[in-house]
Amino acid sequence: MNRKNAFFQKHILNEKIPELELSEKIYNNIFGFTRIRKSLNVGIMNIIKHVIKKQKEFDYNYYISKNCPLPENWREDKKKLLEDAQTSFRGKVY
């Protein structure tokens, strides 16, 4: 029931390095020593750059709330779960 999206901000796509350097890093992590034609190589790099650019604009909060809506009584459920976590029902809560 935590709607903060800090999980997504820790992703490799959000590293604070230039886009070209980041795309090369991702490319090397995926393909390593695999030999690929130069014509395909340029296309792959363009796709990776496009994903990096679009990911920075993506609104995670909107899609999380749209696809995973919270139940009507989430506040009461959260309080009950927190109370149970303090008692012997800790295993059930997690």
pTM check: above 0.95: no
DSSP string, 6-68: HHHHTSGGG-SS-HHHHHHHHHHHHHTT----HHHHHHHHHHHHHHHHHHHH--HHHHHHHHS
pLDDT of 1 strictly over 60 = no
What's the pLDDT score for residue 66? 85
Integer CA distances (angstroms), 38 to 5, 28, 32, 44, in order: 37, 15, 15, 10
Residue ranges per structural domain of the chain: 1-58
pLDDT of 44 = 92
At 70 the pLDDT is: 84
pLDDT at 17: 87
CB 19, CB 52: distance < 8 Å:
yes
Q: How far apart are CA 89 and CA 84, in angstroms?
A: 5
pLDDT at 83 (0 to 100): 85
In tens, the pLDDT along 22-75 reads 999 999 988 888 888 888 999 999 999 999 888 888 887 888 888 888 888 988
